[in-house]
Amino acid sequence: MLESQWQKPNGTLSHQNACKEFGLTEKAIFDAIRSGKLQYRENYAHGNPYFRVLRIEVEALARKLHGDKIAQEHKVKHKLREINREINSLKRKLASLEKQKAELLE
CA 62 to chain centre: 14
Closest CA to 17 of 83, 62, 47, 84: 62
Mean pLDDT of the chain: 90
For 40-86, what is each residue's pLDDT tens digit? 999 999 999 999 999 999 989 999 988 888 878 888 888 899 999 99
Question: Domain containing 68: what range?
Answer: 2-105
- Residue 98, burial from CB neighbour count under 10 angstroms (0-12, 13-18, 19+): exposed
Count structural domains, the chain: 1
Measured between alpha carbons, how far is residue 38 from residues 3, 51, 58 in Å? Answer: 13, 11, 7
Phi/psi of residue 38, nearest 5 degrees: -120, 130
